[in-house]
Amino acid sequence: MAEFRGCIVEALANGEIDKETADLATATYEDAYSVASETLGPVDADRAAGEAAMRKLEAEAIEARRRRQLSVRTRRAALETMAGLKERRGYTGVVALGGGDGSGKPPRGGWVQGGTPPEKGKPYSKGAVAAMALKRLVENRPGLSGAPGASVEGRYRAVRGKFDAMMADLIEKFETKTGFDAPGRAHMDNVVREAFGEDTGDQAAKALAQAWDGTAETARHMFNAAGGAIGKLDGWGLPQMHDPLAVRRAGKDQWVAAITPLLDRTKMIDSVTKQPFTDKRLAAVLGEVWETIGSGGANKGAPGERIGKGALAAQRAEQRFLTFQSADAWMTYQRKFGEGDAFQAMMGHLDDMARDVAQMQILGPNPRHQFEWLAAFARREAALEELNGVEGAKARAEGMVGEAERMMAHFTGDLNMPVNPGLSNVGGGIRSTLTGTMLGSAVLGEIGSGVVFGRMARGFTGLSRNGDMGELVRLLADPAERAIARRTGFIIEQATDGFVRGSHDNLRLMTVGAKAEGKLNAFARRLPAATIRLQGLTGLVAARKRSFRFELMGALHDAKDRSLADLAKGDKRDQTLARWLDARGFTEADWTIMRAAPVFEPRPGATFLKPEDIAQPELGLRLAEAIDMETRLVSPETTLETRAMWITARPGSFWGELQRSTSMFKGFTATLTSLYAQEMALQARAMGGNAFANLAGMAAGAVAFMTVGGAINIQLREMAKGNDPRPMDDPKFWGAALAQGGGLGMAGDFFYAAQARNGKTAPVAAFGPVGQLASDAWGLTGGNALELTNSLLDGEDLGEAAAGTNAGREGAKAIANYNPLSSLWWSRAAFSRLVADNLQRALDPEAEEAFQRRARRMEKETGQGQWWPQGSNAPDRAPDLSNMGGRQE
């Protein structure tokens, strides 16, 4: 055994190979020798092991060369995006550093981009745009405010959309309808058996299994093309979702003994010998697998390294190592050491693959290393700008690079890995439960605000501001239209929430495995998705987004007969569309390829340019990302940038839990402000003429429309609570409408509810719903206990003192307030009157007086009556709509 090892040591000492190569050769040699020595003598075993080590080194060298080329290509593409953003922000003399001859070689002049920022006093004259571009490289923005290239988050959504389109039939059959149900799970067993090559005679299950196999194979090819090396494995079946705690608790020997009989050893080939594993070798390798699963990958890295990270290209192949004999064997393992649900395993695997493919396509085979290089590049660019007189560029760049790092950590899940899983589960469960109990009427806000945001987004892309109401209605009412939309290549958000997200995130990010604790936490995590679905918000938002996508794809098809130059000379809408395409980085050459795509005509007369039909897959993904990104203006949602602003620490730590609790519902407002403020400013400048006047006009119109949307929201909410609409001749009403429509959005659910519950105002509300819960809990327990103690010390008897605490009233309110049925718009009034009021009546001897006081106070303060009076078991009348015209005397 010493002969070949001696050659390795000598080559390392002479500088002929580096330490990494020496370590790889030694490890490969030792593994091969241990196997060969079972059947060969020392000399022959040494020779066989040496040959195996050389084959491994040759293969690794070829693969390393390919990955280096991919790394340089993605680096040049990222720098081209940075250069494009600089130029669009007024820089001059920028060296793009992009393109190249396709060889993957660095530019001849080195990695120096440069460029002069706009003159002092003009927008972006303070420099550091390279650092801004780094943020856009992680997550781009819609409209003119985005960078002219792809982003990691946007590419993930585009790739995931491609997978979802391929899996549309399976998603339609097995996705949750309420957030809690798991439809078709009995039929799923047949799908699993078909996936493992067993003929069940169920043709529908066979078709669904083929859809899964085709999608998983597409994901494998995309991963490998981006630098990975996952081999084709016939009969692989399905991925595993391991429960780390269950695996760890079983112990190495018991876990190895349990899994070994379930494995198909004929398909598990030793990478060193290219033969099936011997018993001894398999036991040793499975022991390493147990350590990897149980430790979360900590056994793979050196001290100080991030667990499970490094070159993504070198990962994923390990997941296919465990190959099960049959569907029954796979399901047996999943029940004992995994989550047990095949649909979760499928969707979770595709989601993970989409994330990895996105990182590798944008940042190369080793995304972490590439990102760190680009961050250093952005810092250096800012330092050079400051050296040339741009004061403060370095500090601004440092801040934005830090934001980009946090954005990336949120994307990869690094900032979601708990410090203390138990504390993280408790905090996450509380926040999820509060979200599920407080946002039951959010759809009422979407009814008004959605129209406003849709008009603005359409204007930014050159579409008709009125939108296609017929398409929206079809998407809401016609399942066939929704089926078409699911297959256009955009992410199906419904497939990533509720049932899948709750359980998959619980395993993938939280790494907790206790079944009771895990199931309880998964319930809490599903509650918000259930609340959003049951009120109708999921369907409405999805329809709005899909309608917008169809309109934009239709506009692109209608523009196919003209070049970008022709569009730029056309009418106002054509010019706006041309500006949007340029802002997204599409060139005339790109547009020529894009408009050559075949027509997508799902029904007569409805013609679209579908991204998936574009001949060059990369262009198709870029267009899909660009279209999908614009939907953030149609229906604003929390972004990575917003999360990075609010959340800088991991869950399960003091700061991590505090940040997540205090930022609840605030991300929407921050996202809305950040997206629309910059976009309107850039659109105003692009319109020509007086940019300030243009911006003022746009802002005034937006505020007016959003205030009207807020007014609609308030009136619908009041009627849902059993009250008459508020008089609209009261200035306070319009102030509330401005706040509700102009940014509070979902947060208004909480802020208004907080004051309605107990009169507490901003100081408590500033700490978010968790702070409000803590305040209510203290008032119900400690506060009442103090009141009782003080009353007893003052000489009151126990009964008198207890009655004075109002504990019964507060307890009834707490039970009613923290309940999903008390916020869902369609059950709110009925639950409040039939359940909550009767509960208060049973616990509070002064309930009737309290009901009357509240009615008088509401009449005095807001001029409202109640169509379903508090304390009544049935409505008195219909809502008095005439009250909107003014107070009724």
Instruction: Give the pLDDT of residue 765.
Output: 62
d(CA 457, CA 465): 8
Q: Is the pLDDT of residue 370 over 80?
A: yes
* Residue written as token pair 């990270």: 309
Instruction: Give the pLDDT of residue 306.
Output: 42
Q: Does residue 300 share a domain with residue 226?
A: yes
Q: Is the pLDDT of residue 523 over 80?
A: no
Q: Are 30 and 284 in contact (CB under 8 A)?
A: no
Q: Does residue 664 share a domain with residue 768?
A: no
Domain annotation covers residue 836: no
Q: Does residue 193 share a domain with residue 63?
A: no
pLDDT digits (tens, 9 = 90+) for 163-219: 999 999 888 888 777 766 666 666 888 999 999 999 999 898 999 999 999 999 999
Domain annotation covers residue 386: no
Domain annotation covers residue 773: yes
Q: Are 445 and 748 in contact (CB under 8 A)?
A: yes
Q: Does residue 259 share a domain with residue 196?
A: yes
- Supply 246's token pair: 């269950």
- Supply 9's token pair: 């040591």
- Among 779, 800, 818, the domain-final residue is 818
**Of 51-55, 68-72, 559-563, 697-701, where does the model show the most confidence?**
559-563
Q: Does residue 470 share a domain with residue 345?
A: no
Instruction: Give the pLDDT of residue 653.
Output: 94
- Supply 710's token pair: 């807020």
Which is higher by pLDDT, 802 or 39?
Answer: 39
Lowest-confidence region among 107-116, 177-186, 650-659: 177-186
Domain annotation covers residue 400: no
Question: Quick one: average pLDDT of 846-871?
Answer: 91
Instruction: Give the pLDDT of residue 307.
Output: 39
Q: Are 510 and 520 in contact (CB under 8 A)?
A: no
Instruction: Give the pLDDT of residue 340.
Output: 61
Lowest-confidence region among 43-52, 147-156, 456-465: 43-52
Q: Does residue 186 share a domain with residue 77?
A: no
pLDDT digits (tens, 9 = 90+) for 351-369: 999 999 999 999 999 999 9
Q: How many alpha carbons fall within 13 Å on the CB side of residue 675?
A: 30
Domain annotation covers residue 407: no
Amino acid identity at 397: A
Q: Does residue 596 share a domain with residue 523?
A: yes
381 vs 384, 389, 483, CA distance in Å? 5, 13, 48
d(CA 442, CA 447): 9
pLDDT digits (tens, 9 = 90+) for 273-332: 677 888 888 888 898 889 888 776 655 554 434 434 445 655 555 556 788 999 999 999
Domain annotation covers residue 863: no
If one counts every other C-beta atom within 10 angstroms of the C-beta of residue 703, the result is 14
pLDDT band with cut points at 50, 70 and 90 for residue 516: very low
β-bridge partners, 603: 606
Q: Are 549 and 627 in contact (CB under 8 A)?
A: yes
Which is higher by pLDDT, 850 or 152?
Answer: 152
Domain count for the chain, please give it: 4
Question: Quick one: average pLDDT of 476-490?
Answer: 86
- Among 362, 386, 405, the domain-final residue is 362
The C-alpha R_g of the chain, in whole angstroms, comes to 31
Q: Does residue 671 share a domain with residue 569?
A: yes
Q: Does residue 448 share a domain with residue 358?
A: no
Q: Does residue 345 share a domain with residue 452?
A: no
Instruction: Give the pLDDT of residue 749.
Output: 45
Domain annotation covers residue 279: yes
- Among 667, 687, 707, the domain-final residue is 687
Name the DSSP class of 269. B
Q: Does residue 571 share a domain with residue 434?
A: yes
782-801 burial, b at 16+ Cβ within 10 Å, e below that, comes to ebbeebbeebeeeeeeeeeb
Residue 32: which domain range?
1-99
Domain annotation covers residue 855: no
**pTM to 2 decimal places:** 0.87
pLDDT digits (tens, 9 = 90+) for 570-624: 999 999 999 999 999 999 999 999 999 999 999 888 899 999 999 999 999 999 9
Q: Does residue 450 share a domain with residue 334?
A: no
Torsion angles phi and psi, residue 116, rounded to 5 = -105, 125
87 vs 2, 92, 556, 575, CA distance in Å? 61, 6, 25, 19
d(CA 467, CA 476): 15
Instruction: Give the pLDDT of residue 595.
Output: 94
d(CA 172, CA 343): 12
**DSSP letters spanning 408-448:** HHHHHTGGGS-SSHHHHHHHHHHHHHHHHHH-TTHHHHHHH
Q: Are 646 and 730 in contact (CB under 8 A)?
A: no
d(CA 531, CA 541): 14
Instruction: Give the pLDDT of residue 755.
Output: 46
